[in-house]
Amino acid sequence: MNIRSIDIRALLAIISLLLFVSGCGTQMDLRHDYFSFVGESKRWKLEGYQMEITPDSFAAGSGILHMKGTDEYHTDFFSFYTTVMIGNKEQRVHGGSVSGHGGNIAEHSIGTVDGGPYLNEEGEPVTREDIEKVYMVVKWWDVNQHKNVEERIELWHD
């Protein structure tokens, strides 16, 4: 046996071992998509809104809604919801509301929602590539117009 045949055998043994070890491990999916949004409508400004997507979870929130031009606006009703368009399907992923006598809605901290993943049309966890559009709708009782009004804040589109 010469040195060359030993080198080839050692190389083949190392390659076989590496193939065996790589086949035995659990495959980890390291996808992690993070969005940070800022957006405006005629009367509202949204800052610091976030979305985080992994194969196992979906989280959204942590932003602050500011009514433009005022520090105080008292009304009996306020709500918002965030919609993500996945494929051709709209999914409401986050929302909240406040009702009662004369609450100040001029600045509203948005809570956070988290849970399992949303699935795309193939039944796989959603990734950034699956998302076509993200927007928020804000509704409130307008004390001057004496009716519910709403505005849409565009946050992202593909």
Domain region containing 131: 33-157
Q: Could you tell me the CATH number of the domain that includes residue 107?
A: 2.60.40
Within-domain flag for 8: no
Within-domain flag for 141: yes
- Summarize the confidence of residues 103-117 as an average pLDDT: 94
Higher pLDDT, 121 or 132: 132
Domains of the chain: total: 1
DSSP E strands in the chain: the ranges are 33-40, 44-53, 58-61, 64-67, 74-86, 89-104, 107-109, 112-115, 131-142, 147-157
pLDDT value, residue 68 = 97
In tens, the pLDDT along 21-69 reads: 555 455 555 689 999 999 999 999 999 999 999 999 999 999 999 999 9
Within-domain flag for 88: yes
Q: Which residue has the tokens 């406040």?
A: 98
Bin 48: left if φ > 0, else alpha if -120 < ψ < 50, else beta.
left
Q: For the chain, what percent of residues have pLDDT higher than 70?
A: 81
Within-domain flag for 6: no
Within-domain flag for 22: no
Residue 158: pLDDT over 70? yes
